[in-house]
């Protein structure tokens, strides 16, 4: 191998005049792009801007229609991911690529260097364990089936798997989307260390504070073209958003109306307990109120939300809907007219949608079971689809043809058709572009104004601050802080998520 680490004149990766067409769609249009060894290069853009296509070209998953890739100044043709790996190009994809039925160990060894026919050496597992420990995933056992891990845990294993391959260029595509702040910090330390030892990092994220924390250079993409590349700090957030969508950050969140203290309570939960994961949680949400649930991953907030929708067996506690004591044992009961809850699950691809079916069929699925609604009536969905500005080529097309953000709009519209009196959302904007986020914020606020009660679980504390009237922070199954009004600050949220009383403490490294 040539000595390249210190050679700054030749970029590690260079792309010249790259275009990628899918039929008539130009996913990338004559893009020039370079990435140097020893830098963290953030790639920004809305969904559909071409970021993922760019990454797939680098990872050898797709091949360009036109243009040339060069590694260390040499022309390369990456026809398979194995070829890309041989050049040291490793991608951790947004769509998780672990095999659910295999254990963590088996997944880590899949495609590991030296694996193939013959004996597995198991080398590199120490490194993987080390990585897992460092990103706060030390409790994940190597023998656990991946299917039994939570979404954040799977993402942590993905990171370990990618780093194990000793990349020269590592692509992190929404790699931290499901992770909470303190875990992200650990991941970032690791990434910085990799960078300092000469690895190039391509970093895709929709969270601005992550880019602020990590990136050295930033490239902004829009509509399949690279708009600009600049050093971090050369432009402000609003300028960057302007480049991405032509919108300012102040316009991201709708204004918060003054809270109405005397509104009716829609959902009231007392002493909710489930196994050891949710402990004695009591909270309520009023008409027109948006209540946030925050905290580190797996502190019980996700289970609590599922429990409200009737997904947990043998839970204790009382639930009252509009003052009426109610027991909800299944989603079917939860969506009944007199209860009228809706739940937007965490993973839209496996839980929220049936990807093989058409947009229309997906929209109808929740309304079908309600005798008082005519699921086939398109007017049920038209309003919310209009407001969310769903971009589609026809409602009869499979929902998998939509981008991630548009898919989430379908999940929302499907439930909004039932005019729920209380909407439960599990991290609805994870991995979604800024513009779609804005649309989702706007419709949530509008629903609240119309009297819907909303419970929003979020891993993005800007949402908990900017959108929510009140936020409950979970720690170890309990609500450790309920913040509202002026108390709703980043410092207080971070302090509460780490369960430290007052002085904010830096996340452990």
**Of residues 75 and 356, the one with the C-beta less far from another protein:** 356
197, 330, 378, 450: which one binds another protein (CB under 8 A): 330
Asked if 335 interacts with another protein (CB under 8 A), we say yes
CA dihedral of 239, 240, 241, 246, whole degrees rounded to 10: 60
How far apart CA 390 and CA 376 sit, in angstroms, is 19
353, 359, 412, 468: which one binds another protein (CB under 8 A): 353
| Distance in Å, CB of 336 to another protein, minimum | 8
Interface region with another protein, contact rule CB under 8 A, candidates 157-165, 296-304, 363-371, 486-494:
363-371
Asked if 354 interacts with another protein (CB under 8 A), we say yes
Planar angle of CA 236, 18, 62, nearest 5 degrees: 105
482's enclosing H/E stretch is strand 478-484
Q: Can you state the angle between helices 434-449 and 379-388, rounded to 10 degrees?
A: 130
Strands 453-457 and 278-286: unpaired
> Residue 271, Cβ neighbours under 10 Å: how many?
11
Give the position of tokens 């005519």. Answer: 374
Strands 470-475 and 290-295: parallel
**Of residues 218 and 339, the one with the C-beta less far from another protein:** 339
Distances (CA, A) of 316 to 160, 279, 432, 467: 38, 9, 35, 30
Asked if 366 interacts with another protein (CB under 8 A), we say yes
| Distance in Å, CB of 365 to another protein, minimum | 4
Binding residues among 407-446 for another protein as defined by CB under 8 A: 414
331, 451, 490, 504: which one binds another protein (CB under 8 A): 331
Asked if 365 interacts with another protein (CB under 8 A), we say yes
| Distance in Å, CB of 83 to another protein, minimum | 22
Asked if 404 interacts with another protein (CB under 8 A), we say no
Asked if 168 interacts with another protein (CB under 8 A), we say no
86's enclosing H/E stretch is helix 81-86
66, 332, 446, 508: which one binds another protein (CB under 8 A): 332
**Of residues 347 and 476, the one with the C-beta less far from another protein:** 347
294 phi and psi angles, rounded to 5 deg: -125, -175
Distances (CA, A) of 98 to 114, 360, 390: 19, 30, 30
Asked if 96 interacts with another protein (CB under 8 A), we say no
Asked if 212 interacts with another protein (CB under 8 A), we say no
Number of residues this chain uses to bind another protein (CB under 8 A): 25
Interface region with another protein, contact rule CB under 8 A, candidates 51-59, 155-163, 331-339, 379-387:
331-339
338, 369, 374, 505: which one binds another protein (CB under 8 A): 369
**Of residues 283 and 365, the one with the C-beta less far from another protein:** 365
**Of residues 357 and 466, the one with the C-beta less far from another protein:** 357
**Of residues 217 and 414, the one with the C-beta less far from another protein:** 414
**Of residues 337 and 508, the one with the C-beta less far from another protein:** 337
3-state secondary structure 290-317: EEEEEECCCCCHHHHHHHHCCCCCCCEE
355, 373, 395, 442: which one binds another protein (CB under 8 A): 355
| Distance in Å, CB of 421 to another protein, minimum | 15
How far apart CA 223 and CA 51 sit, in angstroms, is 10
| Distance in Å, CB of 416 to another protein, minimum | 13
Asked if 364 interacts with another protein (CB under 8 A), we say yes
How far apart CA 267 and CA 26 sit, in angstroms, is 47
One character per residue 300-329, x = contact with another protein (rule: CB under 8 A)? ---------x-x------------------
**Of residues 231 and 368, the one with the C-beta less far from another protein:** 368
Number of residues that this document lists for the chain = 509
How far apart CA 166 and CA 87 sit, in angstroms, is 11
Distances (CA, A) of 507 to 183, 186, 209, 265, 500: 9, 8, 15, 37, 11
Q: b/e for 295-324, b at 16 or more Cβ within 10 A?
A: bbbbbbbbbbbbbbbbbbeebebebebbee
Interface region with another protein, contact rule CB under 8 A, candidates 62-70, 196-204, 355-363, 380-388:
355-363
One character per residue 13-52, x = contact with another protein (rule: CB under 8 A)? ----------------------------------------
Interface region with another protein, contact rule CB under 8 A, candidates 79-87, 164-172, 358-366, 379-387:
358-366
Asked if 138 interacts with another protein (CB under 8 A), we say no
CB 298 within 8 A of CB 150: yes
Q: What letter would DSSP give residue 401?
A: G
Asked if 247 interacts with another protein (CB under 8 A), we say no
How far apart CA 496 and CA 488 sit, in angstroms, is 11
Asked if 357 interacts with another protein (CB under 8 A), we say yes
How far apart CA 108 and CA 161 sit, in angstroms, is 5
Q: Which residues bind another protein (CB under 8 A)?
A: 309, 311, 330-332, 334-335, 343, 345, 350-357, 361, 364-366, 368-369, 375, 414
């Amino acid at each position: 191998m040539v000595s390249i680490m210190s050679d700054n004149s030749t970029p590690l990766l260079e792309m010249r005049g790259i275009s990628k067409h899918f039929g008539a769609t130009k996913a990338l249009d004559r893009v020039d792009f370079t990435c140097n060894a020893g830098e963290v290069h953030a790639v920004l853009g809305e969904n559909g801007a071409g970021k993922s296509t760019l990454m797939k070209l680098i990872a050898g998953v797709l091949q360009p229609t036109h243009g040339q890739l060069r590694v260390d100044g040499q022309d390369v043709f990456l026809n398979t991911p194995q070829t890309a790996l041989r050049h040291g190009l490793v991608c951790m994809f947004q769509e998780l690529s672990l095999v659910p039925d295999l254990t963590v160990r088996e997944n880590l060894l899949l495609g590991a260097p030296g694996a193939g026919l013959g004996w597995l050496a198991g080398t590199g597992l120490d490194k993987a364990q080390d990585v897992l420990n460092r990103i706060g995933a030390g409790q994940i056992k190597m023998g656990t089936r991946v299917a039994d891990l939570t979404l954040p845990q799977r993402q942590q294993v993905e990171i370990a798997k990618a780093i194990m391959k000793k990349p020269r260029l590592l692509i992190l595509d929404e790699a931290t989307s499901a992770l909470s702040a303190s875990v992200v910090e650990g991941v970032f330390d690791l990434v910085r260390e990799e960078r300092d030892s000469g690895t190039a990092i391509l970093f895709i994220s929709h969270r601005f504070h992550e880019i602020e924390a990590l990136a050295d250079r930033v490239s902004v993409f829009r509509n399949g073209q690279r708009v600009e590349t600049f050093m971090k700090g050369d432009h402000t957030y609003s300028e960057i958003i302007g480049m991405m969508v032509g919108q300012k950050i102040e316009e991201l969140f709708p204004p918060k109306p003054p809270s109405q203290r005397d509104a009716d309570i829609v959902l009231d939960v007392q002493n909710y307990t489930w196994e050891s994961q949710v402990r004695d949680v009591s909270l309520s949400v009023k008409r027109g109120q948006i209540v946030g649930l925050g905290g580190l991953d797996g502190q019980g907030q996700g289970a609590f939300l599922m429990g409200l929708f009737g997904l947990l067996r043998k839970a204790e506690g009382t639930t009252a809907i509009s003052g009426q004591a109610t027991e909800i044992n299944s989603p079917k009961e939860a969506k009944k007219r007199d209860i009228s809850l809706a739940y937007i699950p965490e993973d839209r691809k496996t839980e929220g949608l049936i990807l093989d079916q058409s947009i229309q069929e997906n929209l109808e699925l929740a309304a079908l079971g309600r005798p008082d609604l005519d699921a086939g009536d398109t007017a049920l969905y038209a309003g919310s689809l209009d407001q969310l500005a769903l971009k589609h080529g026809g409602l009869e097309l499979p929902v998998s043809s939509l981008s991630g953000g548009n898919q989430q709009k379908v999940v929302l519209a499907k439930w909004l058709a039932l005019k729920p009196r209380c909407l439960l959302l599990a991290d609805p904007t994870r991995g979604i572009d800024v513009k779609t986020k804005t649309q989702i914020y706007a419709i949530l606020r509008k629903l609240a104004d119309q009297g819907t009660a909303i419970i929003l679980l979020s891993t993005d504390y800007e949402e908990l601050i900017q959108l929510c009237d009140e936020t409950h922070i979970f720690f170890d199954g309990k609500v450790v802080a309920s913040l509202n009004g002026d108390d709703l600050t980043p410092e207080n949220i971070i302090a509460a998520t780490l369960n430290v009383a007052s002085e904010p403490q830096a996340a452990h490294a």
